[in-house]
Structures are given as C-alpha cells and as structure tokens.
C-alpha cells in the first residue's frame, strides 16, 4: 500500500475525533515563511504560538520568491497578519548543491531544458541568505512599512532561534 493510501485510511479513523472548532475562520496575526524541511514542521509549538495565529508559508529554502510574496501580501492585507517572520535553518538542503550543478544534472538526466524554474535559490550561508530574504520583503511596495519583518535561523540541533539583523542593526520594522 502506498503511503498516501495509508494516510487516507488513517484519516477516515482519525477524523472521527476531529474538533469542529478547527474549521472556524482563521484570524492569523503572524505570517511565517520557512523551509519545507520536515524538521521545521510544527515550529509554531517551538515558538509557543497557536496554529490559528500563524499563516504558514513554506517552500524549499525559505525563499522570498514571487509566490511567497503573493502569500505575504494577501496575509497582511486580507487576512490580518501584522508581523512577518522569516525562518531559515541550519543544515538546509539548499546548502548542499549549486543551481548550476542541479541544472546540469537535470538537463543530463532528462535531455530537456525547460523555461522554469529559472532558479533553485541554493545558497551558501544561512545568515547572509536570510538578510537577503528580509530585504526582498522589506523593499516590496505592497508590504506596509508598518509591518515588522524579522528574520531568524533555527538551529535544528537545539531548537533555538537566532535573530538575523540586516546591516547589523536591530530589525524593528
């Protein structure tokens, strides 16, 4: 049985104990961008945040790309999020390859050169990368200057966050 089939079977049983209040309209207070890495799943609990308070935006590498910006704009203008947290992490898979190596490998394996994705956004330094992502959000004309944008690196070995300050100054938004 595939794992998806197992999950569907489990869902039929687990849903019997579902709390219907989880279906109430969400009222997020923070928009969070983090990595799709499974070690970041459930990070709200590590931060003492309730799930309904967080709009969770995840992708490979905690990248502020077109789609992450789309979600951040909607979260802050439509859903009511008032702060933005960007959480990179140690030991990210995006540190372990380069875009050009990955492109070469895929071209070789498939014999194809598609138009997208234009970039994989691999990086070599989680702190420097986080600064870049903060700057991308902070400079966006549709993200209000009233919304604090703060970045962090999550240590997967300790569960602790370290704040990253662009330009070495406290990022108070």
- Site residues (vs Zn ion, CB under 5 A): 35, 37, 92
Q: How far is the CB of 137 from Zn ion (least distance, A)?
A: 18
Find residue 57's DSSP bridge partners.
33
Please say which residue, 62 or 71, places its beta carbon nearer to Zn ion: 62
Burial bucket for residue 94 (CB in 10 Å: 0-12, 13-18, 19+):
buried
Please say which residue, 85 or 92, places its beta carbon nearer to Zn ion: 92
Write down the residue that tokens 């979260």 correspond to: 75
Q: How far is the CB of 41 from Zn ion (least distance, A)?
A: 12
Q: How far is the CB of 40 from Zn ion (least distance, A)?
A: 7
Return phi, psi of residue 88, to 5°.
-85, 180
Q: How far is the CB of 28 from Zn ion (least distance, A)?
A: 22
Residues 126 and 120: beta-carbon distance below 8 Å? no
Please say which residue, 32 or 35, places its beta carbon nearer to Zn ion: 35
Please say which residue, 32 or 147, places its beta carbon nearer to Zn ion: 32
Residues 86 and 134: beta-carbon distance below 8 Å? yes
């Amino acid at each position: 049985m595939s794992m998806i089939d197992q999950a569907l079977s489990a869902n039929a049983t687990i849903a019997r104990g579902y709390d219907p209040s989880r279906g109430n309209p969400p009222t997020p207070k923070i928009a969070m961008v983090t990595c799709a890495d499974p070690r970041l799943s459930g990070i709200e609990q590590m931060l003492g945040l309730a799930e309904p308070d967080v709009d969770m935006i995840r992708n490979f590498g905690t990248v502020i790309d077109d789609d992450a910006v789309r979600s951040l704009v909607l979260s802050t203008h439509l859903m009511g999020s008032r702060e933005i947290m960007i959480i990179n992490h140690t030991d990210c898979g995006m540190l372990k390859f380069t875009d050009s190596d990955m492109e070469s490998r895929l071209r070789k394996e498939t014999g194809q050169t598609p138009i997208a994705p234009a970039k994989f956004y691999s990086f070599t330094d989680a702190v420097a990368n986080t600064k870049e992502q903060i700057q991308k959000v902070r400079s966006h004309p549709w993200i209000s200057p009233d919304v604090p944008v703060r970045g962090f690196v999550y240590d997967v070995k300790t569960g602790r966050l370290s704040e990253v300050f662009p330009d070495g100054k406290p990022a108070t938004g």
